Amino acid sequence: MGDEHDPGRFLRACRRQPVDRTPVWFMRQAGRSLPEYRRARGNGDILEAATHPELVTELTLQPLRRYAVDAAILFSDIMVPLRAIGCPVRIVPDVGPVLDHPLGGAADIERLRPLEPEADIPSVIEAVTLVTRALEGRGIPLIGFAGAPFTVACYLVEGKPSRTFARVKSLMHTEPSTWQILADRLADIACAFLSAQVRAGARAVQLFDSWAGWLTPADYERFVLPVTARVLSELRALDVPTILFGVGTGELLALMASAGPDVVGIDWRVPIDVARSRLGANTAVQGNLDPAICLAPWEVVAAETRRVLQSAGTAPGHIFNLGHGVLPDTDPGILAAVADLVHQEGRSGASVAERDGIPAEGPDGAGGHQREARP
């Protein structure tokens, strides 16, 4: 079967190059679904936890002891750089980022100063350095990440997670110049945050634009696409693959691809073959198993995993992932079995019939799903 961890598999797939088997990782693979995560993190604030490099390193590496994933993703939060520059954001359990006094106009936005990585986020830089040092020789690249300007703005303007995003949409349309100032400030912060992670050792970056799917294509093209494209353009000089991810973005995929990412992550609502046709041949695709499916019995999960692989086809440029983050109640054994199944059957150049002929063990089978012993 070759090396379990090919150091270039994930990176080659990002660049639409042939791979021996489909690479896989899971958004929120380090998180509440792991009992060791809960023991290590306790009940503290995630933004506080992200300032402790040794803890960040441990939480980032935990899923690699269980799953045969092809990439690690830094344990952090999209609000980390905002807290670092003095923005009084806090994470409320079961709610999300909350700002008691949301940004209301140009004067509030002026208080968002530039991020100075060496002074503001030394713990993040140290954590990335520690993680990449721990991953040396293991063939697993580290993914850094940041929040995209629009999604971060949603929290800052709304003051909390929203179901309508009415305040931020109103700002864009009624005060477009103010919106542009805010978007540019947040773009600068995202670029500084991601660049610092890459300089410290991250081999790829993901830009989370989780709420972009709430916009019409016209609004996305006018208010969001230019600033997103600027972030991705500035990162291009770092020569690492870039991934752009959003939820509910089926009607935006062509526009997202035009922003210039190497990879677009898609949620579970759009079949990958449809996503590929909308993205075009120059963009790789990441996804897109429904996270809720992972709560079902293994036979269901395996069938849906195969369906995703079949939809992706055998053309280069597919990274298997969930269509959103791992749900807290997910059985880690199921995710381990999914990773093994993807590696067994998601091979470049293999026909679907050939893949379906390869047996895949369930979470209690002999496929090596209890991975705590892996170094």
Q: Is 155 exposed, middle or buried (0-12, 13-18, 19+ CB in 10 A)?
A: buried
Catalytic residues: 28, 32, 41, 77, 155
Instruction: Write down the residue that tokens 């990176």 correspond to.
Output: 11
At 355, list the tokens: 């893949």
Peptide bond into 321 cis (omega under 30): no
Give DSSP secondary structure letters for 99-141.
Answer: ESS---SHHHHTT-PPP-HHHH-HHHHHHHHHHHHHHTTTT-P
Write the CB contacts of 264 (distance below 8 Å, at least 6 apart in sequence). Answer: 243, 244, 245, 253, 256, 257, 275, 279, 283, 284, 285, 286
User: What are the φ/ψ torsions at residue 125 (nearest 5 degrees)?
Assistant: -60, -45
Q: Is 10 exposed, middle or buried (0-12, 13-18, 19+ CB in 10 A)?
A: buried
Amino acid at 229: A
